[in-house]
């Protein structure tokens, strides 16, 4: 099994921290805690956790800013945003700034554990076919090292962006609906989420890998159907 995976909980409500920590540890994770945004950011930099649970409304620095700073620093740790309300704007903003997933409070521990498990970087990446070696358009995917390059220059992708790219590139020309992608890439029993997540992730990915994101040449849209990777 190897070493325990470490989850950093950044949340200012102590009762939530306590119950989340208890449940994570019972599931075999090591935990770190921070009660404000600044110390959460410091802990992420210092301890390099395997996943971060990140509240939005935090003292000193809000969760969105913590996530944004980490991404700007090239840290691609999986981040699950904890949103206080069923706020569409919060969810989309969270994904836009590079969070991998979000969960709305109040959440069940069962749901949270499913999200953590699904988002934590799997050492073996077993569920994604890693057959996508040299792709197209100057894009190279190195599944051994989770590394994607464009014309030889490394591109920083979040885990979801990476998995989506590898999945689509592994099946060039095959069109997948957003629901398909939710199941295949976001995998597991993804409870009650909207397919908007797929669109936002596709857009972010295009901004990183396409020469002209407004006229994509690699990840293409089949109108009313879904997305596919160019080729063959």
Interface residues with Ca ion (CB under 5 A) are 12, 55, 57
Select 33 or 76, whichever has its Cβ closest to Ca ion. 33
Q: How far is the CB of 12 from Ca ion (least distance, A)?
A: 5
Q: How far is the CB of 62 from Ca ion (least distance, A)?
A: 9
As a whole number of angstroms, the distance between CA 149 and CA 141 comes to 7
Select 57 or 156, whichever has its Cβ closest to Ca ion. 57
As a whole number of angstroms, the distance between CA 18 and CA 26 comes to 12
Q: How far is the CB of 117 from Ca ion (least distance, A)?
A: 24
Select 32 or 61, whichever has its Cβ closest to Ca ion. 61
83 and 103 in contact (C-beta within 8 Å)?
A: yes
Backbone φ and ψ for 197, nearest 5 degrees, come out as: -50, -40
209 and 165 in contact (C-beta within 8 Å)?
A: yes
Residue whose CB is nearest to Ca ion in the complex, by number: 57
Select 12 or 183, whichever has its Cβ closest to Ca ion. 12
Q: How far is the CB of 215 from Ca ion (least distance, A)?
A: 41
CB neighbourhood size of 110 (10 A): 10
Q: How far is the CB of 17 from Ca ion (least distance, A)?
A: 10
How would you class 101 by CB atoms within 10 Å of its CB: exposed for 0-12, middle for 13-18, buried for 19 or more?
buried
- What tokens appear for 65 in the block? 């800013």
Select 14 or 45, whichever has its Cβ closest to Ca ion. 14
Select 57 or 220, whichever has its Cβ closest to Ca ion. 57
Select 57 or 155, whichever has its Cβ closest to Ca ion. 57
Q: How far is the CB of 200 from Ca ion (least distance, A)?
A: 23
Q: How far is the CB of 97 from Ca ion (least distance, A)?
A: 17
């Amino acid at each position: 099994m190897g070493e325990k995976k470490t989850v950093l909980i950044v949340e200012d409500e102590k009762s939530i921290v306590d119950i989340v920590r208890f449940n994570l540890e019972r599931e075999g994770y090591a935990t770190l805690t921070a009660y404000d945004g600044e110390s959460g950011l410091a802990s992420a930099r210092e301890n390099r956790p395997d996943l971060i649970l990140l509240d939005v409304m935090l003292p000193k620095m809000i969760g969105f800013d913590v996530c944004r700073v980490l991404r700007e620093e090239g840290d691609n740790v999986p981040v699950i945003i904890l949103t206080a309300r069923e706020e569409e704007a919060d969810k989309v903003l969270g994904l836009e700034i590079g969070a991998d997933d979000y969960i709305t409070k109040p959440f069940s521990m069962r749901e949270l554990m499913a999200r953590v498990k699904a988002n934590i970087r799997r050492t073996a990446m077993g569920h994604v076919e890693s057959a996508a070696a040299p792709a197209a358009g100057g894009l190279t995917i190195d599944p051994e090292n989770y590394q994607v390059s464009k014309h030889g220059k490394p591109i920083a992708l979040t885990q979801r962006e990476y998995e989506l790219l590898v999945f689509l590139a592994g099946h060039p020309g095959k069109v997948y609906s957003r629901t398909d992608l939710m199941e295949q890439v976001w995998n597991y029993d993804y409870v009650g989420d909207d397919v908007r997540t797929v669109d936002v992730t596709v857009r972010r990915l295009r901004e990183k890998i396409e020469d002209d994101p407004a006229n994509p040449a690699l990840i293409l849209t089949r109108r009313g159907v879904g997305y596919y990777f160019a080729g063959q």
